[in-house]
Every structure is written in C-alpha cells, then in structure tokens.
Chains A and B, each alone.
Chain A
C-alpha cells in the first residue's frame, strides 16, 4: 500500500513536471519597456577668436576688437583710411533637447559715441554676422576644417535678428556656427547692405553692444 502511494505521488509529480516543462516551452511573457525622456534642453556654446585663419579658444564672453587704422585705397589712388578689425570670432552652438531647439539671434547697441544706441550709427552697422551650418565632416575632433554652408541671413548686426531652426541643421549631423567680425568695406567681400567700416569720421570712444543667443523649444 505504502509502495502504491509512493508510486502514485511519483507519477503525479512526474506529470506535473512534464506539464510545467511543456508549458515553459510554449508560453511566453511580455515585458513592457518604457523609456521616459525628460523634455530637457541645453546648449553648448564654444567661442573661437580667429586671427589670420587660426582658430583659438576664446574663454571670455566679451568679443573684443582692436581695429587698426589702415590705408584701404588702391595703389596710386589718394589715401583712404578705415579702421579694420584685427580678428573675428566664431561661435559654435550645439543645441540639444528632446525635439530640436531653435536658436534666435538678436543684437542691440549699448554705447554709441556717434549718437544714441540703435540709431544706425553704432557698432550694429560696423559689424557683420554670418550664420553657417557646419557639416562636422572633417578630421575627427577638429572643428575647423569642415565644410560650411550659409544658412539664414548674413547681415549687419543691426539687422541680424533671425531664428535658425536647429531641426534643419541637426537632422543632417550639422551644427550652427555664427561668425562675427567688423566691416572692411572691401567690395570683394560682398558685405551685406548697410555695412560701414569704422573710419576717421567716427567719433572716438567706446562702441559696444550685446549679442544674444536664445535657445528655446519650438513648442510642446
């Protein structure tokens, strides 16, 4: 009797093992995976001072120029002088966020010895801004040998107000680079309308302004 009971228990156990084994082979479980990404935003700004084509990291947030009085007349013509910038600047912008962010450029004069701020005679008409998309395609980790395409509007800073749509740029693995320099008055440079180089007719003094880069999401 005890033997029979033992055999019965053994058979039931074996049956259970078989059923559970078969079940394990044929059933499946679903594990939902959820990734919740904050709609965070950030932007990295890297400023370079460019002197003679050489890009140097610029640790300051003041973009300064030391213009040099230069004879810009053609040889043989009467001398004609302008204050030409010794350097220009490149500001690289990497906006990041869940969904592409927009970058808005604005500029205002602060000090204008020629008149009042933003009256069309200050630094805003003597300086030029150029937004370009950099293809980030050159030597790895070298940000200075890539191909650039002008995006947006190249303009004197007084007219620079515009928005660059990061979605258009970042989708192609590019990033925004914004060049800022002083007008040279050189016709070969194809400078934008209204650009005037500093010249001896300008009142001596401090010409300053504020260039603002705003990074914000398009919307929800």
Chain B
C-alpha cells in the first residue's frame, strides 16, 4: 500500500503540502482497519492452527520431536487451552464423522505416546506461538493409534441465571502408524443394484485406513471405456465401509469389466475386477469377480 502511494506521489503534480497531508492520513488507515476488526461481536474467535492433521510413520522404539504454530488473527488477546482427547470414526465412514472421547479411552489411543507443551497459551493480538510435541513409541508398537489435540477458546466466566457458555475448539488430528503395522483390507459383498455397483470395504488390519478408490471400465477387447473415483473412506480397524458408484449408461451392450483399486498408501492397495454383462435392454448382470 505504501509503495503505491510513493509511486503516485512521485508522478503527481500535486503540491508537496497536499501529498504530505495524504501521507498523514495513509498512516491512519491501518488503525482504521484494526478498529473495524475490533467491532464487538463481529468475530468472536479467530484462531489459525498451522496443521489440521499430523501423521507420522514410526519404527517401534523410535521418537520424534516437532512443533506446530498457532496464530491469533484478531486484535485482542486470545486465551487458549490445549488438551488431548481420543476419537473414533463413526458411520457413515465416507465423511470423517467422529466421536470424541476422554483421553486414553479408545482402543487405539495415542494418549500415552504423545506429550505437548504448553497446556495454556495467551496469544497477543495478531500473535503467534509454537506448540511443541514429542512422540515416543515403545518397541511393542506394531499397530496404529490416533487422537486429537484440541485448542479451546476459553469462554467468558460470567454466567446468567438461565443461559449457556458457548465453547469453540479446533482440533489437530494425530495419526501414528508403526512401520510394522498390518495394513490389509478386502472388498466384499459386491452387488449390482440397477445401474449401481455396491460393496463393502473391509479393513482387516490394525490401523485406520483412508482408502480412495479409482476405477475404470474395460470393453471386451481391453479398451478403456470410462473411469471415475469412489469417495474417500475413513475406516477404523476391523470395520466395514459401504461404497457405491454408478455404471455409466453410455456403455454399449455386451461384456465389460470394471477394475477397482483402493490405494492404502505406502505402496499397499486392494484391487478387484468385476465382470458384468449389459443386454440390449440396458439390464446389467454381474458375471464374476476376481481379487
């Protein structure tokens, strides 16, 4: 902003007094914006967390020390409380729906493997602070674990006779995965219902999986006819997640194969092939499936 004004002043034929006066007002503008931001109630909480998800792949017995930054984007001090909670994914597994639980209560809790500091922060206006965390996993760590570090904006202390405190919190999700973890899954219960192919993604391993499926349709002579993606899934260990996708109406009658691949990361994947037949009336019948 100041650079533009200097350029303008340099080219201008305005008297020096006028330009000097403009400069004086220009310096007031930032304060005007700050004043606008400070209007009561307009923004009641503005905390920016540098990382919404942190994922570490760790060898048994190893450790990591790292940090993340939190920023107060308002012109007022912001008191923030930090604490850990567990969570588990709940149905539907295609949207990341979670149930948050007290620390150390889920089957795959990371609570005893992660420490962080500090526990409370008072961020100055437009201030930043680093939150340090350290992870240490035991030699016996052969699975995965998760949890969430919450940043909670402290509510007002005052309470009315009838009323409620309004608490807001933003979470950073943590996922730890052992290099020795068992990542295995299977596609089950495939069925054709009208023009829709349905199935279950069964996580048979001991880490939460985030498979994103891609598929393509092959004609009888091996040419790719169409392709698409299955919505990302969030599947806890041993759980099954439903998926489905539509078979395009544009496919001509005849034999077709759909090849469906779920990427499990780290080079692991689940692939299944489904042969189906489309008759001239447009009816589709499942012929065979192959892993």
Contact = CB atoms under 8 A, between A and B. Distances in A.
Interface of A: 38-48, 56-67, 91, 97-99, 101-102, 104, 107, 110, 123, 127, 157, 163, 165, 167, 180, 182, 198, 206-220
B141 interface: no
B98 to A, nearest CB: 7
A157 B100 CA distance: 18
Contact of A40 (B51, B95, B210, B232): B51
B191 to A, nearest CB: 26
Contact of A62 (B46, B89, B163): B163
Given A41-B49, A210-B167, 19 more contacts: A38-B51, A43-B168, A44-B45, A46-B42, A59-B41, A61-B167, A63-B163, A110-B165, A157-B164, A165-B95, A208-B162, A208-B164, A211-B165, A212-B169, A217-B96, A218-B96, A219-B175, A220-B53, A220-B55
A-B complex: 5 closest residue pairs judged by Cβ atoms = A218-B96, A57-B41, A64-B160, A64-B163, A41-B52
B261 to A, nearest CB: 19
Q: Which among B158, B166, B171, B208 has the highest number of chain A CB atoms within 10 Å?
A: B166
Contacts of A127: 164
A99 B47 CA distance: 17
Contacts of B42: 46, 57
B17 to A, nearest CB: 36
Contacts of A40: 48-52
B173 interface: yes
Given A41-B52, A42-B73, A47 B156 contact: no
Chain A contact residues, majority secondary structure? strand
Interface string B125-155: 0000000000000000000000010100101
A64 B234 CA distance: 38
Interface residues of B, number: 49
Given A38-B51, A39-B51, A163-B98, A61 B44 contact: yes
Given A40-B51, A42-B47, A61 B166 contact: yes
B39 interface: yes
A41 B148 CA distance: 13
A102 B164 contact: no
A211 B175 contact: no
Contacts of A39: 51-53
B43 interface: yes
B97 interface: yes
Interface of B: 39-53, 55, 73, 89, 95-98, 100, 148, 150, 153, 155-156, 158-173, 175, 208, 210, 232, 234
Contacts of B167: 61, 210-213
B50 A38 contact: yes
Nearest to B45: A45
B14 to A, nearest CB: 33
B40 A59 contact: yes
Given A219-B53, A220-B175, A214 B164 contact: no
Given A43-B168, A61-B167, A104 B49 contact: no
Contacts of B51: 38-41
Given A46-B43, A219-B210, A62 B55 contact: no
A107 B164 CA distance: 9
A97 B52 contact: yes
21 contacts: A38-B50, A42-B48, A43-B45, A45-B43, A57-B39, A60-B156, A62-B165, A64-B159, A64-B163, A66-B161, A91-B166, A107-B164, A165-B96, A207-B162, A212-B168, A214-B150, A214-B169, A215-B168, A216-B148, A219-B175, A220-B173
A182 B189 CA distance: 47
Nearest to A39: B52
Contact of B164 (A63, A104, A215): A63
A209 B41 contact: no
